[in-house]
Chains A and B, each alone.
Chain A
Amino acid sequence: MADTIRCDVGDWVEIEYVLLTAEDRAAGIPEDTAAQPLRAWVKGFALSPAMIGDEVSVETMSGRVVRGHLSETEPGYSHTFGTPPAEIVSIGRDLRARISAYRPKGGE
C-alpha cells in the first residue's frame, strides 16, 4: 500500500500555501471572506522528501517551482454522480406517459 503521510523526490503531490493573509486582502470584500486568508493549492512533482505538513517545493506541470506545505500525497478526486433524488426519479416515467397520452394512437 502506498505511503500517504510522506513523499519522495519526484512524487506527484499537492501543496497548500497562503497567497494573502486576512490583513492583506482587498478592500470592500464581504466580511465573512475578509476574515479568512486567501489560500491556494497546486499539484506538482516533489523536489525533496517531506512529511504531510512539512514545507516542500514542487515543480508544476507548467515548470514553475512553488513552495508550500505538503497537503496530500497521491492527490486524487472522489466527486461522484450522487444518489437518485426522490424528487427527480419519477420525472422520466411521468413525462413519457404524458407524451404517449398526447400523441394519436397507432401513429406518430
Chain B
Amino acid sequence: MATRYEQVMARKGEIMKRALGMDYAQFERSPIAFDYEAMMSAHGYTLERIRAIQRAAGVGLTPLLELRNLTDLVRSYAEPGHGARIFVKDEAANMAGSFKDRRASMSIHVAAEKGFAGVIAATSGNYGAAVASQAARAGLSCIICQETFDSRHVGQPEIVEKSRICEAFGAEVVQMTVGPELFFHMLELLEETGYLSASLYSPFGVSGIESLGAELAEEMIALTGAPPTHVVVTHAGGGNTTGTARGLERVGAHDSVVVSASVDLSGLHMASDTDFNRKSFTTGHTGFGVPFATWPDRSDVPRNAARSLRYMDRYLTVTQGEVFYVTEALSKLEGLERGPSGNTAMAAAVSLARELPSGATVVVQETEYTGAGKHHWSQLAFARAQGIEVRAGDPAENVPGKTIVIPERPEQIRAHDVDLTRLRRSYIRNALAHAPEGYEPTPEDVVFLAEDTNTTPSAVEEVIAGLRVG
C-alpha cells in the first residue's frame, strides 16, 4: 500500500496546478526545451509596473553606499594601481530586512490580484520574513514551512531567528526536522488551505529582483558616470543572480560582469540530520548554489525562473571564516552591522577588488539584517557548541563541518573560481538525463541548452558528444 507520503506526492501535479496561479505546460517545447522568455513575460508586468507595485508595497529604493574605508584597506595591500572601488546596495533597509522583499512583494501582489486568501512558502531563509511581512500588509494569511531542527530539536540560531520574525509578522510557522519531505507537507497544506504557492522560483518572484539590478545600475551611473564594471551577487537557488542580471540588462548595463558568490560547504550533505547543524550558513552556500545551477528544475515549480548559468560570468567561493571576518570588518570600518549570509558576496568582493585596477567599480548588490541568532558572534558560539573547531589562521585550512578558520589578515581572503565549463557540462548531462530514455536532442534543444548555459550550440554539441563517449 502506498504511504501517506507517496499518496500526496502522486497528487503533486493537480495540487501545484491550482496553487501556482499559472499554467506552466503552455511553455513546454520538447522533453528538454521550454520557452523561458515567454514564461518570464507571461505575467505581463513591465519593469515600470513592477517598480510601481514595489513602491506601493514599501519595497526597494534602498541606499547605494560607497565603502571608502574598505576600498582603502584593500588598496593598502593590493599591487600598485589595483584595488577597485567597492559599493554596496543596502538591501537590509527593506521592511523585512533583505532583498527578498522584492520577490515577496510580487508573489503577494499576484495572490491578492487572483483572489487567494493566503500564501504558503517553504523556506528557512529571509524569504519567509519577506512573505510574512508583505502578506500582513496585504491582509492575507501566510504559512511558512521551515526546516528548523535536527532530530534532537536543536535549531540553528539563524533559522530560529527566522521562525521568530515570521511569527512576529503574523505568519503560521510550521517548524520541521531535517528532510526533503518539507515539500510533501507544503503540498498537504496547499491542498488543505487552497492558498497560493508563493514559490521563490516563480516568474513573478524572480522578476521582482529585476528592479534591484536596474536600481543599482542607475544609481552607479548617477554617482560615477557609468554602470558598475562588476556586480557581485550572493548565490544559492539562482534567483538573485538571475533577477539582478536581467535588471542590469533592462537598463542597458550589458557590460557589467556578473559575479556569483557562495560560501564553500562542499562535503556537507544538505539532507543529513547530523550535517544540518554543522554549518554556519543556512543559505548563500554551495550546497544550494551548485545543484541549483546545474539543475534548476529541481525546485518547487515545474520550470524554475531562476536559471543562474544563463547569467553568471564568474562563480566564486569563499569560506565561512572569510565571511565572518568581512562581516566584522564591515561593521567596524563602515558602520554597517549586517548579517553574515548576505555578506558572502562582500567577502568575494574584497578578494575580487584586489585583483582589479583601481578604476574598476564593484557593487555588492545586497545586505541582510542581523541580530540575535543571525549575528556572527552567535553563529560562532553555536558552531563551537556543535564541536566545530574555530580558530585564527589561514582560511585555506577551512574544512566545512569541521573547522572554521578566521583569517588573521585581510590579505588571506582569497576567493576561488568555480569552473563554469564543468558546471555547464553537468547541467547538460542533467537535462539529457531528465528526458525520456532514448530521446534524441533536436537542433532546437541544442539552441535552448546553449541559451540556458550561456554558451554556443557548437559547445553544447561538443559536450553531448563527449557525454556519449564518456
Contact B372 A81 (CB under 8 A): yes
**How big is chain B's contact interface, by range?**
35 or more
Count A interface residues, CB 8 Å: 46
Contact A82 B379 (CB under 8 A): yes
Among residues of A, the one whose C-beta sits closest to the C-beta of B120 is A62
Contact B75 A92 (CB under 8 A): no
Q: How far is the CB of B156 from chain A (nearest CB, A)?
A: 10
Q: How far is the CB of B277 from chain A (nearest CB, A)?
A: 12
Partner pick for A33 among B167, B185, B192, B272, CB 8 A cutoff: B272
With A25-B181, A33-B178 already in contact, the answer to whether A83 and B381 are too (CB < 8 A) is: yes
Of B326-334, B341-349, B420-428, the segment with at least 4 beta carbons within 8 Å of chain A is B326-334
With A19-B181, A43-B167 already in contact, the answer to whether A81 and B172 are too (CB < 8 A) is: no
In the complex, number of A-B residue pairs with CB atoms less than 8 Å apart? 168
Determine the main DSSP class of A at the interface with B: mixed
Q: Which chain B residues in 373-391 approach chain A with CB under 8 Å? A: 373, 375-382, 390-391
Q: Which of A85, A86, A98 has the most chain B CB atoms inside 10 A of its CB?
A: A85
Q: How far is the CB of B269 from chain A (nearest CB, A)?
A: 6
Cβ of B193 within 8 Å of any chain A Cβ, yes or no, is yes
Q: How far is the CB of B105 from chain A (nearest CB, A)?
A: 20
With A38-B177, A84-B377, A92-B333 already in contact, the answer to whether A32 and B392 are too (CB < 8 A) is: no
Contact B332 A85 (CB under 8 A): no
Please give, as numbers and ranges, the residues of chain A lying within 8 Å of B333 by CB-CB distance.
92, 95-96, 99
Contact B332 A95 (CB under 8 A): yes
With A64-B192, A79-B161 already in contact, the answer to whether A19 and B377 are too (CB < 8 A) is: no
Contact A95 B118 (CB under 8 A): no
Contact A87 B377 (CB under 8 A): no
Contact B272 A30 (CB under 8 A): yes
Please give, as numbers and ranges, the residues of chain A lying within 8 Å of B5 by CB-CB distance.
20, 24-26
Contact B273 A38 (CB under 8 A): no
Cβ of B176 within 8 Å of any chain A Cβ, yes or no, is yes
Q: Which chain B residues in 173-216 approach chain A with CB under 8 Å? A: 173-181, 184-185, 192-193
Q: Which chain B residues in 304-332 approach chain A with CB under 8 Å? A: 324-325, 328-329, 331-332
Contact A29 B271 (CB under 8 A): yes
Cβ of B359 within 8 Å of any chain A Cβ, yes or no, is no
Among residues of A, the one whose C-beta sits closest to the C-beta of B68 is A108
Q: Which of A26, A44, A103 has the most chain B CB atoms inside 10 A of its CB?
A: A26
Contact A62 B184 (CB under 8 A): no
- Residue-wise, chain A 85-105 has the 8 Å CB interface mask toward B (1 for contact) of 111100111011011011100
Contact B325 A40 (CB under 8 A): no
Contact B271 A33 (CB under 8 A): yes
Cβ of B357 within 8 Å of any chain A Cβ, yes or no, is no
Contact A80 B271 (CB under 8 A): no
Please give, as numbers and ranges, the residues of chain A lying within 8 Å of B185 by CB-CB distance.
19, 38, 40
Cβ of B406 within 8 Å of any chain A Cβ, yes or no, is yes
Cβ of B143 within 8 Å of any chain A Cβ, yes or no, is yes
Please give, as numbers and ranges, the residues of chain A lying within 8 Å of B114 by CB-CB distance.
none
Cβ of B266 within 8 Å of any chain A Cβ, yes or no, is no
Contact A39 B141 (CB under 8 A): no
A82–B329 Cα distance when bound, in Å, is: 18
Cβ of A2 within 8 Å of any chain B Cβ, yes or no, is no
A33–B272 Cα distance when bound, in Å, is: 6
A37–B75 Cα distance when bound, in Å, is: 53
- Residue-wise, chain B 130-161 has the 8 Å CB interface mask toward A (1 for contact) of 00000000000111000011010000010011
- 24 A-B residue pairs with Cβ-Cβ distance under 8 Å, sorted by A, are A20-B5, A26-B179, A26-B180, A26-B181, A29-B179, A30-B269, A30-B271, A38-B176, A40-B177, A40-B185, A41-B148, A41-B149, A42-B173, A77-B372, A79-B372, A79-B373, A80-B157, A82-B378, A82-B379, A87-B391, A91-B325, A92-B331, A102-B75, A102-B76
Q: 3 tightest CB-CB pairs across the interface, nearest first?
A: A92-B332, A82-B377, A102-B76
Interface residues of B (CB under 8 A from A): 3-5, 69, 72-73, 75-76, 118, 141-143, 148-149, 151, 157, 160-161, 163-164, 167, 170-181, 184-185, 192-193, 269, 271-274, 324-325, 328-329, 331-333, 371-373, 375-382, 390-392, 406, 410
List 7 extra interface pairs beyond A62-B193, A101-B76, CB under 8 A: A29-B179, A40-B176, A62-B172, A64-B193, A80-B157, A83-B381, A98-B410
Interface residues of A (CB under 8 A from B): 19-20, 23-26, 29-30, 32-33, 35-44, 60-64, 77, 79-88, 91-93, 95-96, 98-99, 101-103
